[in-house]
Amino acid sequence: MTGYGRASVPLGSLTLTVQISSVNRKTLDLTMKMPEAWEPLEPTVAAAVRQVASRGKVHVDMEVTGSGTSTDAPWDETAAGIMLDRLSAWASSRGVAFMPTPELLWSIASSQRRTTELPTLEESQSILLDTLDTALRSFSAMRAREGETLLVDFLARLEFLRRHLAIVVDRAPHVVIFYREQLFSRLRQAGLELDLGDERVLKEIALFADRCDLTEELTRFRSHVEQFESLLKSDGEVGRKAEFILQEMGREVHTMGSKANDLTISRAVIELKNELEKIREQIANIE
């Protein structure tokens, strides 16, 4: 699921900003960016994120801005000059002409900026975690709003499934009747006038009726639809459980299609398969 959360607080003369963003992904892919001195905090940050997200490509960015931390911080001209002299002497000692490019000068100057020292992790950990918690609450709220929108969409798709399931239910009892009529019609066209009570005819019809009986599949599919709806409205994890139910629904629909031997049911089965695939693609993004 997509989401975004942001929180900022003063940190001495600096400003700490924590940003959390996510895009859809079936598994949790967590990346972080923070000042090097704070990297020991990464396991704690990761654990906090996992409390609210189990899927998605999630990125946590801890940024410190303010005096001495931005790119307009003054250069240490003396240190930059010493570095340049050393490079020149090193090149001269090897008989190499030293002609520094603008890119090299910029790199040396940038590496010698005067920067304000960050507070230590011990001094700032409490503030860092509180700010992270605030950003995570905002992040979770956005994902919850998206979840509510998806719930409405899923419920509409379940109604679509029910409508086409009703077509199969209404048509199923007529399949055997239609087959029997076709069978007698073909027998008459072939010049075989058999009695309606002929044992061979009745046996053939009984075998066909058994092969195309959809009672079990319809019952299970209807049960899966109800389970799926209950799961969507529950407060627990949805994603992986829903994927399992969808897999079972797909099996039942496939069996219906292979057993039906009827055009109307086959058309309804195609619609059911298409809709299940749409739901499956969407459910892969939620938790």
- Strand duo 3-11 + 14-23: pairing: antiparallel
Query: For the sheet containing 56-66, what is the strand order?
Result: 3-11, 14-23, 56-66, 28-33
Task: Sort strands 56-66 and 3-11 into parallel, antiparallel or unpaired.
Answer: unpaired
Closest listed residue to residue 85, CA positions, set 57, 54, 52, 112:
112
CA dihedral 141, 143, 144, 147 (to 10 degrees): 170
The pLDDT of residue 135: 94
Report d(CA 273, CA 18) in Å as an integer: 43
Retrieve residue 275's tokens.
Answer: 């809709």
Query: Which stretches in the chain have pLDDT values below 50?
Result: 68-72, 114
119 and 9 Cβ atoms separated by less than 8 Å: no
In the numeric block, the tokens 């930059």 are attached to 80
Beta-strand runs (E) in the chain: 3-11, 14-23, 28-33, 56-66
Rounded to two decimals, the pTM is 0.59
Residue type, 284: A
Residue 121, CB-side half-sphere exposure with 13 Å CA sphere: 11
SS3 94: coil
How far apart CA 69 and CA 64 sit, in angstroms, is 7
139 by Cβ neighbours in 10 Å (0-12 / 13-18 / 19+) ranks as: buried
β-bridge pairing 56-66 and 28-33: parallel
Which domains, ranges and CATH numbers included, belong to the chain? Answer: 3-70+119-145 (3.30.230), 77-111 (no CATH), 146-283 (no CATH)
Please give the Cα distance from 247 to 261 (Å, whole number): 23
Residues forming a β-bridge with 19: 6, 61
The pLDDT of residue 223 is: 94
For tokens 């039942």, name the residue: 252
Rounded distance, CA 16 to CA 63, Å? 6
Query: Distance of alpha carbon 275 from its chain centroid, rounded?
Result: 18
CA-angle at 266, arms to 277 and 275, nearest 5°: 20
Question: Residues 247-283, buried b or exposed e (16+ Cβ, 10 A)?
Answer: eebbebbebbbebbebebbeebbebbbebbeebeeeb
What's the confidence (pLDDT) of residue 70? 43
| 32 φ, ψ (degrees, to nearest 5) | -140, 150
